[in-house]
Each structure stands twice: as C-alpha cells, then as structure tokens.
Structure 1
C-alpha cells in the first residue's frame, strides 16, 4: 500500500477538501518555534494549517504513528492515532477545533452546502470509510484525554509545556 499522504497530494478532490474546509496542508511541517516532546521521542512535522499550526507524527515508524497538533498560540493535543484516523476526523468534522461550540458544523454547512458531497468524493478517493461526526469527535476526545497524556509538547527555548486545548481540559 502506498503512502496516504502521497494519495492526498495526488488526488485533487481530496487535496481540495482537506485544504478547505479541513485547513490541512501536507508538506507544511515547519512549526513557528522549536519544540520537542517531553518524553524525548521523535517528532516529525508533516502538515500545517493556515493559522500557523502544525501536525506532527510522534515516535518512529510510518503513517500509523500518533498525530499531535500544535497551534501557533501555545496549545497542543494528540488528535489521532495514525494518519487514517486524522483524515477521517478532518473529513467528517473539519471544525474539530471549534467542536465545543454546538453550532460549529452547522455554520460550515451553511457556508458550503456541497460539503457532504465533496467529503464523500474525497473519502472515496482515499479509500477511507467514514465514521459519523459524533463518533469522530468522541474518538478525538478519547485520544486527547487518555493517550495524549503521554505526548506533552515542550517549547524548547523556554523548556515550558504547551497548554492543553480548553475543550480537552474539562474531560480529564
């Protein structure tokens, strides 16, 4: 099986959907500041977003590695176990960063009524079965609040940990 990141880059429907509304840009893995994991495990930036955030693979291996997201404001959380899980989240809930707001998904659908059809084309192109939005967001919360405790991102220059996103603090 080939690389899922390569498949995203090669498929126009998938790349376009993941760029907007997903705000996911493969290849933009340089973070705004030098960071490392408190555990000392490897950290590899592989994608970014328009606001200066970065998606990192944690540890060694391939696309099955845990994925940590760090924004440009000092917040971070483990968001998926493996790239397929991250892409499923971005496909069904591209508004995941606003998931603590009840109407986040509705606002996206109001702005882009063709979203479900575009999402389905992108998922089919990548060979991904999609969970429901509720399942994807429940899994996000589970990963961030359980497995995520082992993945603390540290601002290297100050040796200070990034903050946990507010939506995951109350779940701990």
Structure 2
C-alpha cells in the first residue's frame, strides 16, 4: 500500500489512492491530478500524487475519477478512450470480441479490404477490423492524431462513420442497424433514417431478444456513451456527410467508392408499410 507523507495528517482522501492502487491492479491507469477534496485520474501512464510523498504503482487499462466531499464518496470508473487502449482491450478479451462480432459485426481479425485503396487526400489508412460481408473499418490519418473511422463495404460504398474510434463504436453498438439506416436513408435524409431505425429496432429485438443486454455489457466494458437513437443517427449522418472531399476512398485506377447514403426509402420494404 502507498506510503503516507508524515507531514500530512491521515485522511480518507490521502489514503484512498494507495488503496485503489492495491485494489484495482490492471484497471486503474493514471492519477495525474489531486486537488482535495477532488481526486481525478486521467490518461494512461504511471500513478502518482502531486501533493504528497505517495508511493505510486504502475497500472493500466482504465481511468477512475473520485470525488470526496465531507463523508460522501462518489467513484465513477471510465475506460481509456485512446485507439490503442480500446483495440488492445478488445484483442485481449475474447468474450468482448465475440460480443462485438455478434452485436455489430466488428471483428479485429478481418482488417484487410482485399484490394489496394487510398484516400483522396493522401492521408494514411489503417485497416483495423472487418464485418462478415467483407467490409472493412479503417482509421484515417497518422498515429498520434485524432483519427476518424471510415467504413468500406465489399460492394463499393465507403464513408466516415465517426470522428473517432470511440464515436464510431458508440454508433455501431448503440445502433446495430446503422448500415441499413444508411441504405434506406433517401440519400441522407434524417427523417427517413429515423423511420428505418424504428422498423429495424423492432425486427432486431424480435430476432435477438438478448441484444439489449449485450449492448449494455459492451458499453460498460468500453465506457461507451450510448446516446438516444436520434442523437446517434444525427452523428452518423453528419459523419457520412463529412466524407468529401478528404476522405473519399479510391482504388488504384482512381475510381471512387460510392457514398454510404443509399437512395432507397423505408417505404421500399413492404413489411414496414403494413
């Protein structure tokens, strides 16, 4: 357990970081600011205490925020949101990987698009995952920068689906039918996407009644913020709309992938009209 500075009286706030370091090995990541009565832990790295001679221990894989106010203690645990931490956590947890595959077809073992592709802007592309239809998820840009996520289908459509990996996963987990919402979007109409989402949600729950619990488990493990469906749809629409001009995917011949926005409307599906 961490040492307490002899010059500082013992208190719950001074003792708690060391206790957590012992209690959460492999789960707490960094304590980079302590300002009594508020304790905050952020960013991957070593654990340390600014105000004392605290004997910090090196831990990883999560962040924890603590607030000590009088006799009340509130702890909020949040996972790391960097790309490497998210992908590393998925890669190290077979159960989580299986849930992501089953829920939103995000599989880290399928990161190869199958043909040479590049972005219109010339930015770097890194394939990180795929789905069972042959589509690929890419991170766009150089490591160390905020990299948006681009999805390329096996049928020649491609576009951004999130400004970051975290946002893309929030959309995919919170809206497992995101691809069909785009397909039946009437070229990107948010009202059409909302209508499609409502029909698809009913179909999904009927086919997979356990889907709600699975999504909640993924969200908890990765600390994803599953916003209401209308919010997720707006984020998805805005991401796809932001594909041009810099994130248009092309093949070696210069031919461009088509937009992810489909021209169909929900009324095209007979069972949704009954």
SS of the residue corresponding to residue 25 of structure 1 reads: coil
Give the corresponding residue for 1:107.
Answer: 203
Structure 2 residue 152 is the aligned partner of structure 1 residue 74: no
CA distance in structure 1 between the partners assigned to 2:141 and 2:229 by the alignment: 28
Q: CA deviation at 1:34?
A: 1.1
Structure 2 residue 233 is the aligned partner of structure 1 residue 137: yes
Which one of 52, 56, 59 corresponds to residue 134 of structure 2?
A: 52
Once superposed, which parts of structure 1, at least 4 consecutive aligned residues long, lie more than 4 Å away?
Answer: none
- 8 Å CA contact retained: 1:36, 1:43: yes
How many aligned positions are there?
A: 168
- 8 Å CA contact retained: 1:13, 1:118: no
Bigger shift: 21-30 or 59-68?
59-68
CA distance in structure 2 between the partners assigned to 1:62 and 1:13 by the alignment: 28
Instruction: Evaluate the alpha carbon distance shift between residue 167 and residue 134 of structure 1 in structure 2; reply closer, same or farther with a 3 A threshold.
Output: farther
- 8 Å CA contact retained: 1:18, 1:90: no
Structure 2 residue 155 is the aligned partner of structure 1 residue 155: no
The RMSD of aligned alpha carbons is: 2.0
Please, which runs of 5 or more residues in structure 1 have no aligned partner? none
Please, which runs of 5 or more residues in structure 2 have no aligned partner? 1-43, 45-60, 62-84, 185-195, 266-274
Instruction: Evaluate the alpha carbon distance shift between residue 148 and residue 169 of structure 1 in structure 2; reply closer, same or farther with a 3 A threshold.
Output: farther
Give the corresponding residue for 1:43.
Answer: 125
Larger RCO (alpha carbons 8 Å, 6+ apart):
1
- 8 Å CA contact retained: 1:80, 1:143: yes
Q: CA deviation at 1:14?
A: 3.0
Give the corresponding residue for 1:123.
Answer: 219
TM-score norm. by structure 2 comes to 0.57
Q: CA deviation at 1:12?
A: 4.3
CA distance in structure 2 between the partners assigned to 1:120 and 1:63 by the alignment: 29
SS of the residue corresponding to residue 138 of structure 2 reads: strand
Instruction: Evaluate the alpha carbon distance shift between residue 62 and residue 104 of structure 1 in structure 2; reply closer, same or farther with a 3 A threshold.
Output: farther
Q: CA deviation at 1:62?
A: 4.6
